[in-house]
Structure 1
């Protein structure tokens, strides 16, 4: 038995349902015309909270705040054209602060690019200097290979944003009209239709291999007599913060937490120095305080006295 579908909408559904399986709980949507299939796919997906924000720049920063607070990727959806450029300030912020965002942009089909059509710009990898991963969704297709691949792409985006190298990722969806869910333009066997909406067929594992520490680094850590740990700006989860604190106890190493590091708060650890920028301004302390090993987590410090010390 065959089921009538809108090609763009079904393809978007398969992608959105995979994001939900992976753990995405929030999406910030700036509605438009070209992103209708994705907007409707999110709208009909229970379990993902929808935040409708007309202004794209505001929407992106709202998603940034959600991702920072929850520690898991938030999605941003916008239509095609110059609307996509409005997301860039928040993407840069997410890139520098290692905040997980999944940026989803709708696009015109390839034949409308560079034709003088309204609101057509080159969107493929447009945030290239400030994202961890770019994926081209490609024009929607409903064969088994294409449906598996869009699930795989969703998984790659989620893992890149949240685990492999935390930060923003981008996927671009080119759509041909018709865009509305009930504008049927294709047919699909019902069992195939239901299978990809209910199952993960990507074949991707969410388990990552633990990185190995080089023996030379282990030796340096063991031999250090005056070690120091620097915690710069980053979104440390509770598990990582606990591991850093345990390391400081084992090494008998103080932790200098930068003013923007969230290790400064909520940790009852006497090894954490949260106001190091003040006493390191003293030349006398600067001379006496000479670590033989510095282990840095996160970004470089933002306080001038810390930058000068290190």
Structure 2
């Protein structure tokens, strides 16, 4: 891997590491400050690029890709108010636990608070709605720069996919995003790990319940006749849950976006049934398993 300019070096390393981590799709809304990353995305054969000029539409496309694939899509914007248009989708991803990697291009720090064009304060723009925020400063040809960029990207991807999954935000500063490609070149090595593996892996901490908890839950289910499984908007494989409901002969009350409204135990009209006070009072469960 080579690069003619610092901006090109950072962009190519960032995209290459995202692909190594498992990213296959990226949605971008074009702009000048984000141009190096946009071009790096287009150059990389390992990623599908979806160009959407409206930032809000692009963000919800990325959200949908994350919901269906269970892997984060990239979401790229230029600097300024463009990044603010991602906020509704970031909030949706936060609450629905959908992995998402938000990449916002930014002006360099020295242009902040100076009334510079297309410049606003993008640091922690999405507040507590992201699993992790990191600011990558303007690229400089220094030893260890590529290793820092790769480890940061790998950590961000891991934060987006580890339980609970959700959005992460990388704010990336560029001083000269559209300088000529015939620059002096980049002296430091840019290559990643051999074998196209990520620079580092972030392991999801074990969230499986203990054996004792599983045994207690199994005994409770076995002893309960009037139980119900409630599934909200989530991003899970419903098979084991539906098998459990069938074995226990419990109804499944699942939201349309849960991917669990199927099988003989699923009741699609439960909201209408529960609005009837007589029905609700006569079918009050003893155990509710909520997902």
TM-score by length of 2: 0.86
Once the two structures are superposed, residues 192-222 of structure 1 have per-residue CA deviations (whole angstroms, 9 ceiling, x without a partner) of 23456974462325x5343231535742452
Task: Evaluate the alpha carbon distance shift between residue 131 and residue 187 of structure 1 in structure 2; reply closer, same or farther with a 3 A threshold.
Answer: closer
Change (3 A) 1:212 1:96: closer
| Distance of aligned partners of 1:181 and 1:172 in 2 relative to their CA distance in 1, 3 Å threshold | farther
**Residue pair 2:3, 2:9 contacting (<8 A) in 1 also:** no
Return the alpha-carbon distance in structure 2 between the equivalents of residues 212 and 275 of structure 1.
32
Query: Is 1:67 the equivalent of 2:66?
Result: yes
Change in Cα spacing, 1:217 to 1:291, as seen in structure 2 (3 Å) is farther
Q: How does 1:217-236 map to 2 (within 5 A)?
A: 218-224=215-221, 225=224, 226-236=226-236
| Whole-Å separation in 2 of the counterparts to 1:37 and 1:119 | 17
Kept in 2, the 8 Å contact 1:57–1:86? The answer is yes
1:244 paired with 2:238, answer no
Pick one of 269, 272, 276 that aligns with 1:282: 276
Distance 1:84 1:242 in 2: 38
1:8-87 alignment, distance < 5 Å: 8-87=7-86
Query: How far does residue 280 in structure 1 lie from its aligned partner after superposition?
Result: 1.9
Q: Is the 8 A contact 1:31 1:79 kept in 2?
A: yes
Equivalent residues in 2 for 1:187-266, closer than 5 Å: 187-189=186-188, 192-195=189-192, 199-200=196-197, 202-205=199-202, 207-214=203-210, 215-216=212-213, 218-224=215-221, 225=224, 226-236=226-236, 240-264=237-261
Q: Secondary structure at the match of 1:188?
A: coil
For the 8 Å contact 2:158–2:201, the answer to whether it is kept is: no
> 1:295 aligns to what?
289
Q: 1:183 to 1:106 in 2, by over 3 A?
A: farther
Q: Give the C-alpha shift of residue 154 in structure 1.
A: 2.0
After the TM superposition, which of the residue ranges 16-25 and 284-293 deviates more from structure 2? 284-293
1:25-56 deviations in whole A, cap 9, x for unaligned? 22122221111211111121112112222222
Contact 2:238–2:259 under 8 Å retained in 1: no
Map Cα deviations across residues 132-165 of structure 1 (whole Å, 9 max, x no partner). 2212223324555432232222222223323422
Q: 2:267 aligns with which of 261, 273, 276?
A: 273
Q: Work out the number of aligned pairs and report it.
A: 286
Q: Secondary structure, in 3 states, of the residue corresponding to 2:139?
A: coil
Give me the whole-angstrom Cα distance separating, in 2, the residues matched to 1:201 and 1:53: 28
| Distance in 2 of aligned mates of 1:246 and 1:180 | 58
| Farther-moved stretch of structure 1 (148-157 vs 13-22) | 148-157
Q: Distance in 2 between matches of 1:222 and 1:180?
A: 67
Counterpart Cα distance in 1 of 2:41 and 2:84: 22
Conserved? CA contact 1:7–1:185, under 8 Å: no
